[in-house]
Structure 1
Amino acid sequence: MTKPALLKALVAGVVLAGTAVLATPDLLFLGSGGVHYTARGPDTVINDYAQVTKPVAAGTSRIPLLSTRGFSGGDLVLVVQMQGMGSTLEGNDPVLIELSGGPVGVWELARVERVRSGTEEALELAAPLAHAYAEGVTQVIRVPEYEDVVIPRGTGLVAQEWDGSTGGVLAFVARGKVTNDGVIDASGKGFRGGLFAPVGLGVTGCTGLEGFSAGSGFWLGEGVDPLRYGDLDLGWGLPANGGGGGVCRQSGGGGG
Structure 2
Amino acid sequence: MLSIDTYAQVNAYAKVTAISGNVLTLSNVNETYHTFEDGDEIIIMQMQDNVIGDVTNASTFGVLGSIQSAGLYEVKRIQSHTESGGLPATITVNNAITNTFNINSNATVQIISYRLYGSPDYTTTANMVALDWDGNVGGVLAIRVNGVLTLAHSLTANAAGFLGGARSSTGGTVTCATTTWITTSSSGDSGRKGEGIYKNTSSSYVAGRAKILNGGGGGNIHNGGGAGGGNYAAGGDGGPGYLCTSTPVGGQGGISLSSYINSTRVFMGGGGGGGHQNNGVGSAGADGGGIVLIKANSITTSGSCGSITISANGGAALNSNNGGSGGGNDGAGGGGAGGSIIMDVSTFSVAPGCTLSVAASGGNGGSVTDAAIHAGGGGGSQGVVIYSSAQPTSNVTTTTASGTGGCNNSSCSSSASTASGTANSGIVSNAGTTPLPVSLLYFKGLYNSESKAVELRWATASEHNNDHFTIERSANGEEFETIATVKGNGTISTASKYQYIDDQVRSGIYYYRLSQTDLDGTTVRFDIIRIELDGQAEPFASIYPNPANRGEQVTVDLIDVPAGAYSITIMDTQGIEVAKAQLSVSQSSGTATIESGSILSGIYIVRIVSPAWQVNRKLIIH
TM surpasses 0.5:
yes
Question: Which stretch of the first structure deviates more once superposed, 106-115 or 126-135?
Answer: 126-135
Cα deviation for residue 182 of structure 1 reads 2.4
Cα deviation for residue 156 of structure 1 reads 1.4
Q: Which residue of 2 aligns with 1:158?
A: 129
Q: Which residue of 2 aligns with 1:78?
A: 43
Distance 1:130 1:40 in 2: 41
RMSD of the alignment, in Å? 3.2
Q: Which residue of 2 aligns with 1:131?
A: 99
Asked whether the 8 Å contact 1:115–1:124 carries over to 2, the reply is yes
Q: Which one-letter code corresponds to 2:80 in the other structure?
A: R
Q: Identity across aligned pairs (percent)?
A: 27
Q: Which residue of 2 aligns with 1:244?
A: 217
Asked whether the 8 Å contact 2:28–2:137 carries over to 1, the reply is no
Distance 1:104 1:39 in 2: 36
Distance 1:98 1:184 in 2: 34
Structure 2 residue 76 is matched with structure 1 residue 103: no
Asked whether the 8 Å contact 1:61–1:128 carries over to 2, the reply is yes
Asked whether the 8 Å contact 2:182–2:205 carries over to 1, the reply is no
Name the TM-score, length of structure 2 as normaliser: 0.31
Q: How has the CA–CA distance of structure 1 residues 125 and 205 changed in structure 2, closer, same or farther, with 3 Å as cutoff?
A: farther
Q: How has the CA–CA distance of structure 1 residues 98 and 83 changed in structure 2, closer, same or farther, with 3 Å as cutoff?
A: same
Cα deviation for residue 91 of structure 1 reads 4.3
Matched position secondary structure for 1:176:
strand
The structure 1 residue matched to 2:114, chosen from 143, 150, 160, is 143
Structure number with bigger Rg: 2
Matches within 5 A, 1:1-256: 42-54=6-18, 56=19, 60-66=21-27, 69=31, 70-84=35-49, 85-88=51-54, 91=59, 102-118=68-84, 121-135=89-103, 137-147=108-118, 148-151=121-124, 155-197=126-168, 200-202=170-172, 206-207=177-178, 208-212=180-184, 213-227=186-200, 233-247=206-220, 248-250=223-225, 251-256=331-336
Question: Which stretch of the first structure deviates more once superposed, 220-229 or 162-171?
Answer: 220-229
Name the TM-score, length of structure 1 as normaliser: 0.71
Q: Which residue of 1 aligns with 2:487?
A: none
Q: How has the CA–CA distance of structure 1 residues 214 and 128 changed in structure 2, closer, same or farther, with 3 Å as cutoff?
A: same
Q: How has the CA–CA distance of structure 1 residues 205 and 225 changed in structure 2, closer, same or farther, with 3 Å as cutoff?
A: farther
Distance 1:230 1:162 in 2: 21
Asked whether the 8 Å contact 2:52–2:65 carries over to 1, the reply is no
Asked whether the 8 Å contact 2:168–2:190 carries over to 1, the reply is no
Cα deviation for residue 145 of structure 1 reads 1.1
Deviations 1:40-75 (A, max 9, x none): 872111110000012x26xx2111101555211111
Deviations 1:147-182 (A, max 9, x none): 233236xx4111100000111111011011112232
Distance 1:188 1:129 in 2: 30
Q: How has the CA–CA distance of structure 1 residues 112 and 170 changed in structure 2, closer, same or farther, with 3 Å as cutoff?
A: same
Cα deviation for residue 228 of structure 1 reads 6.3
Q: Which one-letter code corresponds to 1:103 in the other structure?
A: S
Cα deviation for residue 232 of structure 1 reads 6.2
Cα deviation for residue 124 of structure 1 reads 0.8
Q: Which one-letter code corresponds to 2:183 in the other structure?
A: G
Distance 1:109 1:91 in 2: 39
Matched position secondary structure for 2:193:
coil
Question: Which stretch of the first structure deviates more once superposed, 71-80 or 175-184?
Answer: 175-184
Unaligned 5+ segments in structure 2 are: 226-330, 337-622
Q: Which one-letter code corresponds to 2:12 in the other structure?
A: D
Asked whether the 8 Å contact 1:110–1:127 carries over to 2, the reply is yes
Asked whether the 8 Å contact 2:123–2:149 carries over to 1, the reply is yes
